[in-house]
Structure 1
Amino acid sequence: MESSSNDVQATDRNALVLYGSETGNAQDIAEDLGRAVERMRFKATVEEMNAVELKELLQYTVVIFVTSTTGQGDIPQNANRFWRSLLRRKLPPSCLSRLTFTSFGLGDSSYPKYNWAARKLSKRLVQLGAQSFFEAGEGDERHDDSIDTVYLPWKQSLRSHLMSHYPLPESIGPIPDDEPLPPRFVLSIDGTKGVTSSMSSTSSEDPPSTLLPIEEASEAIIQSTSRVTPTDHWQDVRLFSMDMDEPAEPLLPGATLIVYPKNFKTDVQALIDQMGWQDQADQPVHATKVPKELGWCTKLEVCTLRDLLTHGLDITAVPRRGFLEKLFFLTANAEQQERLKELIDPSGSQDFYDYTTRPRRTILEILGDFPSVKIPPSSAVDVFPVIRGREFSIANSPSRLAVPDEQITHNQPPQIRIEILAAMVEYRTIIRKPRVGLCSRYLKSLAAGARINIGIKQGSGMQRLLTRPVIAVATGTGIAPIRMLHQARAKATGSTPPGEMLLFFGCRSRKVDYYFADEWRRAANGLTVIPVFSRDADVLIDMAKTVQLGGQDEPPPTAGMPVPPSLSASTAGLDTSETGMLRRRDAGKNYVQHHIRRHAYKVAAMIRGGAAVCVCGSSGTMPKAVRLALEDALVAGGLCASAAEAQEYLTTRVEIWQETW
């Protein structure tokens, strides 16, 4: 990101903003910081971490690292190569002594290793001699206003610090907020007539079936799509089965499948009409630089603006503040400009969230609210966010399919079948029109035989659980990675057979969302399934009659379970901490955490025997409530003497693999 040439720059002040991002949130923060330091007249560059070498860091006045945490405290993929370069043993301990840096981490406090990536990155930089010039920031997605609760005040403090420690000459001030910054990406429209895009579809397919040459993506063919929840149930959950070429590396438990969605023709045409792009929409476009996610457009013989809008730009996303900032400069209507100014003002963040985030208002709808905004077609890539692939946990352990004779003749690679269990994102807000996720809408449009672009991301850490005893806790579609793990354990070969696996599976009802019920009823290979139905009328059934836990020495549930005095109901009722609130919220309900306590002796015995724990499903209170129940079970099961000891035991001696969303 370079500042405009007509702005006065202090040539000795430059800033590098590096990001590691899986879903794009960290990248959005990095780009916002890039704009902020550019307004302070730093020469600003924004890149993913993998795009730079260590020696390049020393060329900048300041370096700002922004990273999310993925997997089990891991560095995002587009920062992993950079991270590995920091871990080289041959690096001198003072090799980064001239580096001045700060960092901002994006995390989810429901994970045990909250903001782990940012913390270990900062620690390693300091070990190599780097100096932190400003206190690190840590944003939490669990906050009411998400990451911005911490990020916005942190950014303002960072700005004040930079202006104080790296002042401009008295005759030069920062670039005013009401002055536009130069675009990072600019398209040129080729007016050549009669040129046809190779991506164009002459059929009525919506969205178009044409596939992109996406880097590291593969082609898959949909074999079946089936709804697995009743049609009268509010949530539409579907099982997708697809075939693809067998990857070079076998898929391990915890792997995810990336689906690359696309926009529908009707939405694309609505935007073209609103912006007045009818004459430019089907003309070839050229660009010397595009976001990495749009690299496919440079590989096409012809790429049009319509192609970019259909396959690359997320025109139905709920925008971040930066999008509205760009719209502010693209309208001449004083009233609408004033309203945009109110929305992007950090001091009025409540107004911004009430308008965008809470009702999930989309970019197309916002442009409809501000009809005077006219985006130049050359600025489309700079203004709109890009479409990013959506990750889904793989729900089966794939095996090679039988190869037909004709495939052998044509020397085609072997195929595998992959399944994903996907909940369609559909809901209502204060806006009359129902909200539907871009990828959900795309997946629902697919029929058997459809070809789609997919990517594969290997799991992190779950493969270590192929032979160990495992206590698995899953809710809803979180059963998908657990099913893959169970199938992989059943197929495992070696001298050591898999250890016992105990699964607590939380659902609403046995007739609604007890996914793969037949498989769990036939459970074998050391698997015991404890189904937990939170909404069934008979939730108080004696689970000891339906679940056989071999060797269990605890009393039956009706006899009660010993509860440490520190965890008694009377104490919890007076407890105003998060722990106390979790206990009160659980009172009188039937969730997986209640059954973990019910089977405390079994849980404690398995953990004493070296069992690992897997927690999969919805984020938020569930993972915290499960962890609290595990602590209670260790005390009630006799493994630990107190809640404090149980907490320490879980933290230091038990491997916990968590995948929540």
Structure 2
Amino acid sequence: MELTVTNSPFNQEQSEKLNQVLSTLTKEQKIWFSGYLSAAAAQSNEPSASIVETAAPVSNEPKPKTREITILFGSETGNAQGLAETLESKLKEKDFKVNLACMEDFKPKDLKKVEDLFIITATHGEGDPPDNAITFHEFIHSRKAPKLNDLRYSVLALGDESYEFFCQTGKDFDNRLEELGAERLHSRVDCDLDFDEPAEKWMEGILNSIGHISGHESTEPVKVNPEDISATQTYSRSNPYEAEILENINLNGRGSNKEVRHIELSLEGFTDSFEPGDCIGIFPKNDPEVVSDLIETLVWNPDESVPINDAGDTLTLRDALTNHFEITKLTKPIVTKAANIFGNDVLSEKVKKDRWIYGYVEGRDLIDLINDFPPEDLQPDALHQILRKLPAREYSIASSYQATPEEVHLTIGAVRYHANERDRNGVCSVQFAERLEPGDTVPIYLKKNPNFKFPKTNETPVIMIGPGTGVAPFRSYIQEKEELELNNKAWLFFGEQHFTTDFLYQTEWQGWLKDGVLDKLSVAFSRDSEEKVYVQHRIEENSKEFYQWIQEGAALYVCGDEKCMAKDVHQSILNVIQKEGHYNEEEAEDFLTQMKKDRRYQRDIY
């Protein structure tokens, strides 16, 4: 409709000008302009004229109150924290009020005030919560936990499906919140090591559910960028950097039972800095010999094109088995899926017993599974329905960015063992030990670890406990300490099998000790004496001085094997606190728990 002096209150000149403007406007612009005139008229208490589009009526109904969102994370290596920060950012973009906190920093008594709760948590060890989630986990499972009938929630669980208690901490929180009367806003998602895609889908579900209920809905479903999930750096898990190998050196002497490689990678053109405690993730390749043996066992064509996911992406069979699928490690889901596809009656019967599965997968791979339970009619296009994606391997950085910003060093122990009548090799570690040389490249990404951070002050003494390759982050810290000329005291506990062949970075430690960068070095070489001596024994031998350092404000750092070393070291530290501080067992535990909360007791164990 065109404006004229007869169908509007405007004169000829006004009508012509308005018609000229209106002819250039889109529908959305016309609606906005109509609303603008209505609002302007309301402010001046004058009626507005409807031009072309009728403005939506202004409702006197009060807008629904936007519920406050709380995000809690329990994180051991930083993955859960990174995802929590991504979710926080996405919710704030939609104008939600968000409170983000680590579980240990959240006051349990405030739980009954929470309206919408999103939990993102890892699972540590054999189904245990991460260190920074223990207190909250204990509270919510105690009789002190309040009824939560007005709470809505959802849980994202991180884990490794090769462990028996896969994502157990997330399952615990999910079930307990339901028991306490809370309403599940969105189903729990359990993530394996390759967590980007399922975490992305969970966040999309959260954003769409909460937006719809709270009146934030849009015409298009929310989509989360996978790049936001991985990292904020230029290079990330989903966009790895191809790093050239500069050095690949065996640190062990002749005759050693170990083979530990010192790896130096070029970071030329890599734009992100790192700190002691951070990690480098590496995407490895499966051993070509194992791949060939598997193809021969299956009697398949290595050049045949096979799907690698449900989206229909394809690779040749050899490429898929080399670069994409994990074939050297069995998990309960893999064996269960195989039982559904293999058509082998014996396997189908055995998988009904969990205990059998967990006993069987130990030290076996896909070749074993196929030989032990021959498939009736397995086709190449079924592989992606059985196998998981080959996960990256993460290694603590062993160098300082301040000292060598154009390169990064790693300390990688070659894993070799014999099990079930076959020799077995670690996928990534033996790739470096046997098949990678200077000049080759590997795809990497930087993994920040906010839960393993060192002080950059002259006041805080540092005690570092790192046997074997666990010494890597401490080399990084001492390099940085020297570069920044920090004067705080530092004490290293290191252990291995033999002094003459296994003292990793020996000359460097002795040089730092001589120069005063390192104040004290306590070593334990378990095979050099009739009675085996480990780092935990050295801690208790130095009990009085160890406790004195703690009294002076020392921060304790432990890195290395979880199953044996970390537990034994933890107990030895408790013994020292109990003995020298004259505490009982419970008081010593409380003392060490407080040190954790104060970030004075940090662990990077695996």
Give the TM interval when normalised to the shorter protein: 0.5 to 0.7
CA RMSD after TM alignment: 4.8
How many residue pairs match? The answer is: 461
Q: 1:364 aligns with which of 354, 364, 367?
A: 367
Q: 2:341 aligns with which of 311, 315, 330?
A: 330
The answer on 1:396 being equivalent to 2:413 is no
> Closer, same or farther in 2 for the Cα pair 1:277/1:362, shift >3 Å?
same
Q: Which residue of 2 aligns with 1:535?
A: 526
Q: Which residue of 1 aligns with 2:123?
A: 106
> Closer, same or farther in 2 for the Cα pair 1:613/1:213, shift >3 Å?
closer
Q: Which amino acid aligns with 1:233?
A: S
Normalised to the residue count of structure 2, the TM-score between the two structures is: 0.64
Q: Which residue of 2 aligns with 1:508?
A: 497
C-alpha contact (below 8 Å) 1:111/1:623 kept by paired residues? no
Equivalent pairs: percent with the same residue?
A: 21
The correspondence of residues 122-141 of structure 1 with structure 2, limited to 5 A, is 130-131=151-152
> Closer, same or farther in 2 for the Cα pair 1:128/1:229, shift >3 Å?
farther
Superposed displacement of residue 217, structure 1: 0.7
The answer on 1:660 being equivalent to 2:596 is no
Superposed displacement of residue 622, structure 1: 2.4
Cα separation, 1, equivalents of 2:418 and 2:543:
40
- SS of residue in 2 equivalent to 1:527: coil
> Closer, same or farther in 2 for the Cα pair 1:148/1:393, shift >3 Å?
closer
Superposed displacement of residue 111, structure 1: 8.7
Q: Which amino acid aligns with 2:476?
A: M
Q: Which residue of 2 aligns with 1:249?
A: 272
Q: Which residue of 2 aligns with 1:575?
A: none
> Closer, same or farther in 2 for the Cα pair 1:268/1:78, shift >3 Å?
farther
Cα separation, 2, equivalents of 1:329 and 1:628:
45
Q: Between Structure 1 and Structure 2, which shows a larger proportion of helix residues?
A: 2
C-alpha contact (below 8 Å) 1:96/1:128 kept by paired residues? no
C-alpha contact (below 8 Å) 1:221/1:451 kept by paired residues? yes
C-alpha contact (below 8 Å) 1:395/1:480 kept by paired residues? yes
Superposed displacement of residue 70, structure 1: 2.3
Cα separation, 2, equivalents of 1:329 and 1:141:
18
- SS of residue in 1 equivalent to 2:603: strand
Q: Which residue of 2 aligns with 1:440?
A: 429
1:334-378: CA deviation from partner (whole Å, max 9, x where unpaired): xxx222123311xx2232233222xx1101221122333433333
Q: Which residue of 2 aligns with 1:319?
A: 330
Normalised to the residue count of structure 1, the TM-score between the two structures is: 0.59
C-alpha contact (below 8 Å) 1:137/1:154 kept by paired residues? no
C-alpha contact (below 8 Å) 2:466/2:474 kept by paired residues? yes
Cα separation, 2, equivalents of 1:605 and 1:238:
36
The answer on 1:480 being equivalent to 2:472 is yes
> Closer, same or farther in 2 for the Cα pair 1:372/1:461, shift >3 Å?
closer
Structure 2: gaps of 5 or more residues:
1-65, 100-110, 185-197, 199-234
Cα separation, 2, equivalents of 1:282 and 1:149:
36
Q: Which residue of 2 aligns with 1:75?
A: 80
Superposed displacement of residue 320, structure 1: 1.6
C-alpha contact (below 8 Å) 1:126/1:132 kept by paired residues? no
Superposed displacement of residue 213, structure 1: 11
Cα separation, 2, equivalents of 1:477 and 1:313:
27
Q: Which residue of 1 aligns with 2:58?
A: none
Q: Which residue of 1 aligns with 2:481?
A: 489
> Closer, same or farther in 2 for the Cα pair 1:111/1:601, shift >3 Å?
farther
The correspondence of residues 261-660 of structure 1 with structure 2, limited to 5 A, is 261-278=284-301, 281-283=303-305, 289=311, 303-316=315-328, 318-332=329-343, 337-345=344-352, 348-357=353-362, 360-399=363-402, 416-429=406-419, 431-444=420-433, 445-467=435-457, 468-492=460-484, 497-522=486-511, 523=513, 524-535=515-526, 537=528, 589-637=532-580, 639-653=581-595, 655-660=600-605
> Closer, same or farther in 2 for the Cα pair 1:112/1:370, shift >3 Å?
closer
Q: Which residue of 2 aligns with 1:555?
A: none
1:132-179: CA deviation from partner (whole Å, max 9, x where unpaired): 799x9999999xx8426979x989x99xx9xxx99xxxxxxxxxxxxx
Q: Which residue of 2 aligns with 1:226?
A: 249
Superposed displacement of residue 275, structure 1: 3.9
Cα separation, 1, equivalents of 2:451 and 2:154:
34
Cα separation, 1, equivalents of 2:127 and 2:517:
30
Q: Which amino acid aligns with 2:369?
A: I
Structure 1: gaps of 5 or more residues:
1-54, 59-64, 167-183, 185-211, 291-296, 402-414, 540-587
